[in-house]
C-alpha cells in the first residue's frame, strides 16, 4: 500500500488550503473528500427563476422530507439546495431543549461554495480576550503570529475592502472596495456625525474580486454567489486552491471517501492512516500517510477523533485533556434593527452587489466604557429599496396597483448583529451510540445553549442599531428580538481548541495535536474563542501556517 506524504481530510475552505500549501512544498498529498465532485459546470448563478421547475420557490415537499434542517439556511433554495446535505443520510441528535442547526455541504469544496464571503481579520483584542477576562484558556498565539499568514491568504484569494486603521479590525491586503449605495452613504455620514471615534460604517470586506486577480475575472455583480460563479470571481476551493494544488502534480483527490476514523500506531505514537467508507460502494478502505490534516469542519473533525478512540485514548484520539468535543461556539444572531430611511427617492441601486455594509465592534474596546456584558458584536446589513415583492403589503388592485409596483418602494436600512459567543466546557458534543449515518458511522449528539452574556449583547445590538436608525430620522424601526439558535450563524467552532497547556487543550500553537505529533487539525475545531468577526479567513490563515510548520518539521525529521 502506498504511503502518502500527507493526507488531508476534507476539501472545503481549510482542506483546499492544506492541499495547496502541502503540495506546493512537494508533498505527495491525498485529499479525501466525503462527497462527489463539483465543477464549474454545476454552477447555476445565471439560471433565471422561470427556468427552474418550481420557479425558484423550491420543491417544498422534497425539502421537508430530505432537508428539514438545511432549509433553515437562507442559501438553501431551489438552486443551491443541491449544495447542502441530505439530512436523512447525515443525521445528528441534540440534547432535550437544546436545538442546534448543523448547516453544511458534502461535496468537493464544502461550504466554500455557499459561503457569504465576508472576511475580517482578528486582532489582539480577540487573541487576548480569554486571558483578560479569565475565561477558558489563553490563545497560544497573538496577532503578530498570524498576521503574515493573513497576508499570504489574502494575496492569493483576493479581498476587496476599505482600509480603516482600526486597532480592533486590522486592515488587510485589499483590492479596491465596492461602493456603498446612497442610502448607506447617508447612514455612514449620520454615524460619523453622532458617534465619531466610536462607530464606523464601511463596505463589507469580502472575498469577491473587484479587479482581475491571479487569473480570475472581476465580479460582474450578478449577485447569487451561493449558486457558484463561472467567472471564478469569488473565492472557493474549486475556483482557486484546489486548481493550484492540482497544478503541482502532487495532489490525488479522492471523492466519495467518507472518513470513518484514524488509524493509530501505538508503538510509534503516530497516526499511520485513515479508515474510509467508500461513499458509493460502502466498502471499507484504508489509506496510509506520514502526516494527517483534519479539515472536515469543526463538528465533523471532532466526530472523527471521537470515533477513533483506542485503549490508549479511550475518550477519543488525542483527547488526554478531556476537552475534545467541548467548548462549542457559534455566533449569536437576530439582534440589530431595520427601518425605513429618507435616502434620495429618485435614485436606485444598479446590479446586485454581492456584499453589504459592516460596522466593526465598538463595545468594550480598550480604554473605552465597559458594558454590562463581556466582548462585543459587529453589524452586517445594507440599504435597499423595496421591489415588486412588496405587492402583498400594497393596498389597491388593477392597472394602477401594477403601475405602483413598477417603481421602487421605500429605502430600507438593516443592521444585523453578529455577537461573540464565549467558550464553555458545558457546550459539547459526544458520540450518540444509538444512531449511525447512511455509511454506518456513529453520529454526534450536540448539547449547546447560549448564556446570558450572548443574549445581553444581542439585546444591546438591537438598541444600538435602533438608535443609529433614529439618528438618521428613520421610521417604522423594528429592533430584532428573536435570537438565533446555535448553529444558525454557520460559524460553529472550538471542539479541539488550541492552547498553551496539554492538560487543558487538544492542539498546540501550530494546530498540532499535543498527544500525537503527526496529527494536525486546522478547521474551526481549533478555535480557542470566537471573536465576533466571521471566522473563515482565520481558519485559512491558521491552515496555511500549520501546513508550512508541518513541512518544516518533516524536513527536520521530527514527524
Ligand atoms: C450560507 C453560508 C454563509 C456563510 N458565510 C460566511 C461568511 O460570510 N464568512 C465566513 O467567514 N464564513 C461563512 N460561512 C462559514 C464557512 O463556510 C465555514 O466557516 C467554512 O467553510 C469552514 O471551513 P471548513 O474547511 O472547516 O469546512 P467546509 O468548508 O464545510 O469543508 C469541510 C469538507 O469536509 C468534507 N467532509 C466532512 N466530513 C467528512 C468525512 N467524514 N470524510 C471526508 N470528508 C469529509 C465535507 O464534505 C467538506 O467538503 C458561511 C457558511 C454558509 C453555509
Ligand atoms: S456576483 Fe460576482 S462573485 Fe458572485 S456569482 Fe456573480 S460574478 Fe460571481
Q: Does the CB atom of residue 221 touch ligand 2 within 6 A?
A: yes
For 503-528, b where at least 16 C-beta lie within 10 A, e where not — what string?
ebbbbbbbbbbbbbbbbbbbbbbbbb
Residue 47 CA to ligand 2 center (angstroms) comes to: 13
Residue range 164-209, pLDDT digits in tens? 999 999 999 999 999 999 999 999 999 999 999 999 999 999 999 9
In this prediction, residue 167 carries a pLDDT of 97
Q: Evaluate if residue 393 carries a pLDDT over 80.
A: no
- What integer is the mean pLDDT of 414-428? 98
- What integer is the mean pLDDT of 7-27? 98
Instruction: Count CA within 13 A, CB hemisphere, residue 545.
Output: 23
Among protein residues, the one whose CA lies closest to atom 14 of ligand 1: 115
Residue 283 pLDDT level (bands cut at 50, 70, 90) = very high
Q: Evaluate if residue 489 carries a pLDDT over 90.
A: yes
In this prediction, residue 397 carries a pLDDT of 87
The closest alpha carbon to 150, from 535, 550, 418, 553, belongs to 535
Q: Which of 80, 219, 226, 355 to mutate to test the pocket of ligand 2 (most atoms within 8 A of CB)?
A: 219
- Distance, in Å, from the CA atom of 410 to the CA atom of 475, rounded to the nearest integer, reads 11
Residue 406 pLDDT level (bands cut at 50, 70, 90) = confident
* Percentage with pLDDT > 90 across the chain: 94
Show the cell assigned to 452: 446570558
Q: Does the CB atom of residue 225 touch ligand 2 within 6 A?
A: yes
Residue 455 CA to ligand 1 center (angstroms) comes to: 26
Residue range 290-311, pLDDT digits in tens? 999 999 999 999 999 999 999 9
- Distance, in Å, from the CA atom of 384 to the CA atom of 348, rounded to the nearest integer, reads 8
Q: Evaluate if residue 391 carries a pLDDT over 80.
A: no
- Distance, in Å, from the CA atom of 542 to the CA atom of 147, rounded to the nearest integer, reads 10
**Count of Cβ atoms closer than 10 Å to residue 341 Cβ:** 22
Q: Considering every ligand atom shown, identify the ligand nearest to the alpha carbon of residue 80 and give its number.
A: 1
Residue 407 pLDDT level (bands cut at 50, 70, 90) = confident
In this prediction, residue 394 carries a pLDDT of 80
In this prediction, residue 220 carries a pLDDT of 97
- Distance, in Å, from the CA atom of 100 to the CA atom of 94, rounded to the nearest integer, reads 7
Q: Does the CB atom of residue 471 touch ligand 2 within 6 A?
A: no
Residue 223 CA to ligand 2 center (angstroms) comes to: 5
Instruction: Count CA within 13 A, CB hemisphere, residue 448.
Output: 33
Main-chain dihedrals φ then ψ at residue 7, nearest 5 degrees: -120, 130
Main-chain dihedrals φ then ψ at residue 520, nearest 5 degrees: -120, 145
What is the enclosing helix (H) or strand (E) of 379? strand 377-385
- Distance, in Å, from the CA atom of 2 to the CA atom of 290, rounded to the nearest integer, reads 11
Residue range 113-124, pLDDT digits in tens? 999 999 999 999
Rg (alpha carbons) of the chain, rounded to whole number: 23
* Mean pLDDT of the chain, nearest integer: 97
Q: Considering every ligand atom shown, identify the ligand nearest to the alpha carbon of residue 296 and give its number.
A: 1
Atom of ligand 2 nearest to the CA of 217: 7
In this prediction, residue 401 carries a pLDDT of 86
Residue 296 CA to ligand 1 center (angstroms) comes to: 8
Taking CB atoms within 8 Å and a gap of at least 24, the contacts of 272-280 are 273/7, 274/7, 274/9, 274/32, 276/32, 277/439, 277/440, 277/441, 279/34, 279/35, 279/36, 279/255, 279/439, 280/256
Q: Does the CB atom of residue 208 touch ligand 2 within 6 A?
A: yes
Kindly give, in sequence order, each residue whose CB lies less than 8 Å from that of residue 476, ignoring residues fewer than 6 positions away.
339, 340
In this prediction, residue 405 carries a pLDDT of 83
- What integer is the mean pLDDT of 380-407? 85
Q: Which of 7, 9, 13 to mutate to test the pocket of ligand 1 (most atoms within 8 A of CB)?
A: 13
Residue 350 CA to ligand 2 center (angstroms) comes to: 14
In this prediction, residue 304 carries a pLDDT of 98
- Residue list, ligand 1 pocket, CB within 6 Å: 9-15, 32-35, 73, 75, 103-104, 106-107, 110-112, 114-118, 226, 257-259, 295-297, 300, 304, 490-491, 523-524, 534-536, 539
- What integer is the mean pLDDT of 398-427? 93
Atom of ligand 2 nearest to the CA of 230: 8
Amino acid at each position: 500500500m502506498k504511503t502518502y506524504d500527507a493526507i488531508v481530510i476534507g476539501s472545503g475552505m481549510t482542506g483546499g488550503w492544506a492541499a495547496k500549501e502541502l503540495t506546493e512544498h512537494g508533498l505527495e498529498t491525498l485529499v479525501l473528500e466525503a462527497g462527489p465532485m463539483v465543477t464549474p459546470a454545476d454552477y447555476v448563478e445565471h439560471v433565471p427563476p422561470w427556468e427552474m421547475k418550481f420557479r425558484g420557490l423550491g420543491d417544498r415537499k422534497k425539502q421537508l422530507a430530505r432537508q428539514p434542517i438545511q432549509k433553515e439556511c437562507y442559501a438553501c433554495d431551489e438552486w443551491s439546495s443541491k449544495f447542502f446535505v441530505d439530512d436523512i443520510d447525515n443525521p445528528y441528535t441534540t440534547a432535550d431543549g437544546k436545538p442546534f442547526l448543523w448547516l453544511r455541504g458534502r461535496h468537493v469544496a464544502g461550504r466554500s461554495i455557499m459561503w457569504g464571503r465576508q472576511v475580517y481579520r482578528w486582532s489582539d483584542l480577540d487573541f487576548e480576550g480569554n486571558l483578560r477576562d479569565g475565561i477558558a484558556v489563553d490563545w497560544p498565539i497573538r496577532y503578530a503570529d498570524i498576521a503574515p499568514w493573513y497576508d499570504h491568504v489574502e494575496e492569493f484569494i483576493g479581498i476587496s475592502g476599505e482600509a480603516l486603521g482600526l486597532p480592533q479590525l486590522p486592515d488587510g491586503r485589499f483590492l479596491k472596495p465596492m461602493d456603498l449605495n446612497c442610502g448607506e452613504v447617508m447612514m455612514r455620514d449620520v454615524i460619523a456625525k453622532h458617534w465619531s471615534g466610536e462607530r464606523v460604517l464601511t463596505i463589507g470586506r469580502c472575498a469577491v474580486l473587484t479587479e482581475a486577480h491571479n487569473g480570475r475575472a472581476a465580479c460582474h455583480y450578478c449577485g447569487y454567489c451561493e449558486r457558484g460563479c463561472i467567472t471564478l470571481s469569488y473565492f472557493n476551493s474549486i475556483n482557486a486552491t484546489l486548481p493550484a494544488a492540482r497544478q503541482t502534480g502532487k495532489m490525488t483527490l479522492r471523492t466519495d471517501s467518507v472518513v470513518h476514523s484514524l488509524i493509530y500506531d501505538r508503538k510509534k505514537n503516530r497516526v499511520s492512516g485513515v479508515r474510509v467508507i467508500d461513499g458509493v460502494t460502502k466498502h471499507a478502505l484504508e489509506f496510509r500517510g506520514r502526516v494527517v490534516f483534519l479539515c472536515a469542519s469543526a463538528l465533523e473533525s471532532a466526530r472523527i477523533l471521537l470515533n477513533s478512540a483506542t485503549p490508549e485514548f479511550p475518550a477519543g484520539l488525542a483527547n488526554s485533556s478531556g476537552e475534545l468535543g467541548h467548548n462549542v461556539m457559534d455566533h449569536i444572531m437576530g439582534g440589530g434593527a431595520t427601518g425605513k430611511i429618507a435616502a434620495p427617492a429618485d435614485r436606485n441601486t444598479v446590479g446586485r452587489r454581492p456584499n453589504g455594509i459592516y460596522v466593526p465592534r465598538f463595545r468594550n474596546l480598550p480604554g473605552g466604557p465597559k458594558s454590562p456584558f463581556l466582548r462585543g458584536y459587529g453589524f452586517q446589513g445594507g440599504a435597499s429599496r423595496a421591489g415588486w415583492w412588496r405587492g402583498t403589503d400594497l393596498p389597491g388592485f388593477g392597472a394602477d396597483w401594477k403601475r405602483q409596483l413598477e417603481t421602487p418602494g421605500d429605502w430600507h436600512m438593516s443592521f444585523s448583529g453578529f455577537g461573540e459567543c464565549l467558550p464553555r466546557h458545558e457546550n459539547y458534543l459526544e458520540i450518540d451510540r444509538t444512531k449511525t449515518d447512511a455509511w454506518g458511522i456513529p453520529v454526534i449528539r450536540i448539547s449547546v445553549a447560549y448564556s446570558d452574556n450572548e443574549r445581553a449583547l444581542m439585546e444591546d445590538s438591537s438598541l444600538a442599531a435602533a438608535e443609529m436608525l433614529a439618528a438618521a430620522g428613520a421610521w417604522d424601526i423594528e429592533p430584532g428580538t428573536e435570537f438565533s439558535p446555535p448553529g444558525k450563524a454557520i460559524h460553529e467552532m472550538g471542539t479541539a481548541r488550541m492552547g498553551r497547556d496539554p492538560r487543558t487543550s487538544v492542539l498546540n500553537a501550530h494546530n498540532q495535536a499535543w498527544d500525537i505529533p503527526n496529527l494536525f487539525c486546522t478547521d474551526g475545531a481549533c478555535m480557542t474563542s470566537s471573536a465576533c468577526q466571521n471566522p473563515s479567513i482565520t481558519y485559512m490563515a491558521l491552515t496555511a501556517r500549520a501546513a508550512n510548520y508541518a513541512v518544516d518539521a518533516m524536513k527536520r525529521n521530527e514527524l
